[in-house]
Amino acid sequence: MKRVVITGRGVVSPIGMSTVLFWDSLLEGKSGIGDITRFDATKFDSKIAGEVSDFDPLTFLSTKDCRRTPRFVQFALKASDEAIKESGLDLEKIDPYQVGVIIGSGIGSLETVEKEYHTLMTRGPRKLSPFMIPMLITNEAAGHVAIRFGLKGINFCTVTACASGAHAIGESYRSIQQGKAKAMLCGGTEACVTMLGVGGFCALKALSKRNDDPQHASRPFDADRDGFVIAEGAGMIVLEEYKHAKERGAHIYGELSGYGGTCDAYHITAPDPKGDAASRAIISALKEASVGIDEKIYVNAHGTSTQLNDRMETQAIKNVFGPHAKDIPISSIKSMTGHTLGAAGAIEFITCCLALKNKVIPPTTNYEKPDPECDLDYTPNQPKEANVRVAISNSLGFGGHNATLLIKEFK
Number of Cβ atoms within 10 Å of the Cβ of 216: 17
**CA-CA distances (angstroms) from residue 229 to 80, 175, 232, 301?**
25, 34, 10, 16
> Per the residue annotation, which of 144, 167, 244, 339 is the catalytic one?
339
> Per the residue annotation, which of 162, 186, 353, 374 is the catalytic one?
162
Q: How many residues comprise the chain?
A: 411
Q: Are strands 401-408 and 254-263 parallel, antiparallel or unpaired?
A: antiparallel
* C-beta separation of 59 from 12 below 8 A: no
The alpha carbon dihedral of 215, 219, 225, 231 has a sign of positive
The distance from CA 345 to its chain's CA centroid, rounded to whole angstroms, is 3
Three-state DSSP at 16 gives: strand
Phi, psi dihedrals of residue 181, rounded to the nearest 5° = -155, 150
Residues 6+ apart with CB under 8 A from 14: 32, 33, 50, 51, 52, 53, 231, 232, 233, 337, 338
CA–CA gap between residue 302 and residue 376 (Å, rounded):
14
Is 162 catalytic? The answer is: yes
Is 302 catalytic? The answer is: yes
DSSP character for 271? P
The distance from CA 28 to its chain's CA centroid, rounded to whole angstroms, is 20
CA angle in degrees (0–180, nearest 5) for 92-97-102: 105
Is 339 catalytic? The answer is: yes
> Per the residue annotation, which of 302, 352, 353, 401 is the catalytic one?
302
Which residues share a beta bridge with 71?
none
CA–CA gap between residue 380 and residue 365 (Å, rounded):
6
CA–CA gap between residue 254 and residue 237 (Å, rounded):
12
Catalytic residues: 162, 302, 339
